[in-house]
Each structure stands twice: as structure tokens, then as C-alpha cells.
Amino acid sequence: MHHLITYLADAPWITFNTGAFSDQFWASTFDGLTYGSIYALVAMGYTLVYGVLQLINFAHSEVFIVGVYATVFALNAMGFGPSPVYPPMVVLIIDLLVAMVAAMIASGLTALILERVAYRPLRKRNAPRLVFLITAIGASFTIQYLIFVWRGGSNAEPATIMFVPDPVFEVFSTIIDSQQLTIFIAAIVLMVVTDQFINRTKFGRGIRAVAQDPDTATLMGVNKERVIMLTFVIGGVLAGAAALFYLMKVPQGASFNGGFVLGIKAFAAAVLGGIGNIRGALLGGLLLGVVSNYGVTLLGNSSWTDVVAFVVLVVVLMVRPTGLLGESLGKARV
């Protein structure tokens, strides 16, 4: 055993590149915030469904990847491709908005179908929790391999470049480009809108009521089934938006199992912030994005980001399983 330990420890398989870390500290912070806002958008889907049904919707990562495919096809139809095109600003914005709407519809529909076909029959039967989880993983698997069969293999779609990032301004002598800014601002706006929707509108009150106590909410005249459908659709729509931003950041991101790892990271983000808590998802997403980006800079290989995210998840579960802001959609402040 001792031999094994020295064997694994002596080999230079892990090196901490502190020089690169201090040089690129701000660059990796800003990039981390960009990725983090994507994680946060996806994490919202996990958190909303969990808040209402206490179910980890494993297939949410596939809801997201369907959105990525929709984005790719919408953009390709509008003439975007592997080499950048330079339409006028207004046209570009309209094109991107159209692609985003397409992704939102595709993802929202996927989430809705998933709810109807896979989860609803189980809810009617009062199935045990384990059954829901197994169904969720089965559904996730089914969607992945439907894409696999449809696209004829595991190859990712060719890159789709939306625009070439331009530098916008400088902070701490680090350039912030238009891409980072777009993603970050758009994601924050979407999340604030969702938060307000949940906290201020009648539908939002319904969601919170069902999250608190489904039976009482039903007795008070809330249509539980409709609330559940709405929750899935909102999660799906946000995942669709995230899909556009993800593709902006990772132009070759459309592959059949590309959602899987992002899904685990988004879930880790949701747990970090406190699952079931919308503002927690935002905080957790941004934090996880930054932390796992630091991990990449420090360890010098982008594959480590998944490992770092996973370690963060386990550490949070060990130290503070309710997350930073505590779990509960029902108790969301009004």
C-alpha cells in the first residue's frame, strides 16, 4: 500500500501553477462569471422543479442540450456557420433573439413533454421517490440516444460562430469583451425577471404555494397540475436561453452527451446556493463558475473543471447541505 501511495504521489501528475493563477486572476474571474451565469440559468431549472416536486430532474441536462441543437439549427438557417459572418449590429441582435426564442421553445416543449409522458403517470400512482429518480435517469438517457441515433453518431455539430468578441473596456488591466458582457448581463436580466415573476405575479404565488404545501394549495384553489407544468416550462425556457449563451461561449458545444457534465455542474451550483432557492441558484452558479475556473488556471488543464465542480459539490454536502442561502422555494421572500 505504501508503495502504491509513493507511486501515485511521486508522479508529477498534479502541479499547481501559482504563477499563472496570479497573472490571470482577473481574467479567470471574469471568464468564470460568464460560465457561472450559464450554470446559474440551468441551475434554475433544477431548483424550480426541486422546489415544487422535491425531484431531481436528471433529464434537465437533456432539456438544455435540445436547446443547444435548436440554436444550432436556427442559426445555421440564418446563415451562421463555422466561419464568422458580420451582419449589421441590429440584424445580428435580431438573429440572436430569434435563435434564443427557438431554443426556448424547443427546451420548454421538451420539458413539458417530459413532464407529461414520464413524470405525470408516476405522480398519479403515488410512486415512491426511487421510481421518479430511475424514470428521470431513463428519460435523460432516452433523449441523449435519440439525438445520437438521429445525428448518426457521437460527433459534435460543426462550430457555429455568432460573433467575434470585441474588447469593450478594461478592469484591473484585464480586457472584458463583448461576449462576456452579453452573456453576463443577459443571464442576470433573465434571472431577475424570473425571480420577480415567482415573487410578484399570481402564477408565481401559485408556484410558491404548491412548493410550500401541495395539498393545502389545492384546497385553496391552486391548480396543482398546471403549476407543475408551468414550473417545468419555466425551467425549460431558461435552459433554452442558457443554450444560446453556451453555444456563444463553446461554438462546438452541440453533441449528444454535451449536456451531461454541464447538468452535473448546474446541479452542483443549485446545491451550493441552496436547492429550491432561486437567488441561491444565481449565487451558486456564479460562485461555481469562478471557483472551477480558478481550478483550471491553477491546475493548467480544462478537464479539471469537472473535477473541481464535483469536489465543490461533495464539500458543500459535507459542510452545509442546505447550501449557502438555505433551501426552500416556498419561503421565498415576497
Binding-site ranges for another protein (CB under 8 A): 3-4, 7-8, 11-14, 54-56, 58, 117-118, 121-122, 125-135, 137-142, 144-146, 148-149, 260-261, 264, 267-268, 271, 301, 303-304, 306-307, 310, 313-314, 317-318, 321
Considering beta carbons, is residue 156 or 317 the nearer one to another protein?
A: 317
Q: Nearest distance from residue 12's CB to another protein, in Å? A: 8
CB of 56 to another protein, least distance (A): 5
Separation between Cα atoms, residue 266 and residue 46, nearest integer Å? 8
Q: How far is the CB of 3 from another protein (least distance, A)?
A: 6
Nearer to another protein, 55 or 278 (CB): 55
Choice between 183 and 222, CB closer to another protein: 222
How many other CB atoms are found less than 10 A from the CB of residue 49?
Answer: 28
What's the closest the beta carbon of residue 34 comes to another protein, in angstroms? 23
CA 325 to chain centre: 19
- Cβ-based nearer residue to another protein, 6 or 83: 6
> Do the beta carbons of residue 189 and residue 281 sit within 8 Å?
no
CA 196, 263, 304, 169 torsion-angle sign: negative
User: Judged by CB, which is closer to another protein: 19, or 153?
Assistant: 153
What minimum distance in Å lies between the beta carbon of 128 and another protein? Answer: 5
29 DSSP β-pair partners: none
Q: How far apart are CA 191 and CA 242, in angstroms?
A: 11
Ranges of beta strands (E only) in the chain are 167-171, 174-177
Min separation Cβ 242 and another protein, Å? 19
Between CA 128 and CA 112 the distance in angstroms is: 22
Find the radius of gyration of the CA atoms of the chain: 20
Q: Smaller CB distance to another protein: residue 260 or 294?
A: 260
